[in-house]
Homo-oligomer: A and B are copies of this chain.
Amino acid sequence: MMRNANTVNIKSQGDYHHGDLRAAALALGLKKLAEQAVPELGLRGLARELGVSATALYRHFASKDALLDALAEEGIRQLGEFQKRAAEAAGGGRPSFQATGEAYVKWAVGNPALFALTFARKIRSDLSTQAGGDNEAFRQLQAGISSVHPELEQGKSRAFAALHAWSLVHGLSHLILAGQIDNDPETIRAVVSGTFGLDRETGGGRA
């Protein structure tokens, strides 16, 4: 069979070689993940859409898992950036921290498949004795904590506070995606903002 006609090469001068298959595969992978809710990337289907034989991908990824890992890495990157923008837009301080948390949830809900993928496989990163690893998302979190609770310079308390906040938004994301909690902006805001009306002295803040 001759070359598939619907080959959409990036640089389509030649025919046999693709140009930059690795990049193309990652790009298409992200697109497919964005379109569907369940992370069901098929190696063969992917290759078909790339106008390339299935096994060609093995020249660029050791296995399907390796490909997914690469996509997952792109996932945390996007998440981190999204949070960063949200934090900046909110100006700083406590509102910025709240915005960071909401951004986490909103990104997750808006990118279900990529979110699932990203956290299904353990994010590579020598997490240097420090939980959370070296990704931007976690860095945003730490910054937010420091901003809201400057009295906690470092140490366990700050770490625990960070893990607490992370767990909260992470769990909320998962539960919404699992259909357990309504995907409602007000709900998200309320849950992220804390026990909400329960604490008498902090004024309904994150805490």
Contacts and interface: CB of A to CB of B under 8 A. Distances in A.
A132 interface: yes
Contact of A178 (B119, B152, B201): B119
Given A119-B174, A120-B178, A174-B119, A168 B168 contact: yes
A133 B110 CA distance: 23
B199 A149 contact: no
A191 B160 contact: yes
A191 B164 contact: yes
Ranked nearest first, the 7 interchain pairs of A and B with the lowest CB-CB distance are A171-B171, A170-B171, A167-B171, A167-B172, A122-B179, A160-B190, A157-B197
14 contacts: A119-B174, A120-B178, A127-B180, A132-B181, A160-B187, A160-B191, A160-B196, A163-B175, A164-B194, A164-B196, A167-B167, A167-B172, A170-B175, A194-B207
A123 B161 CA distance: 30
Given A171-B170, A197-B157, A207-B199, A163 B187 contact: yes
A118 to B, nearest CB: 9
B196 A167 contact: no
A182 interface: yes
B149 A180 contact: no
A181 B157 contact: no
Contacts of A198: 149, 152, 157, 161, 207
A131 B179 CA distance: 9
Interface in A140-196: 149, 152, 156-157, 160-161, 163-164, 166-175, 178-182, 187, 190-191, 194-196
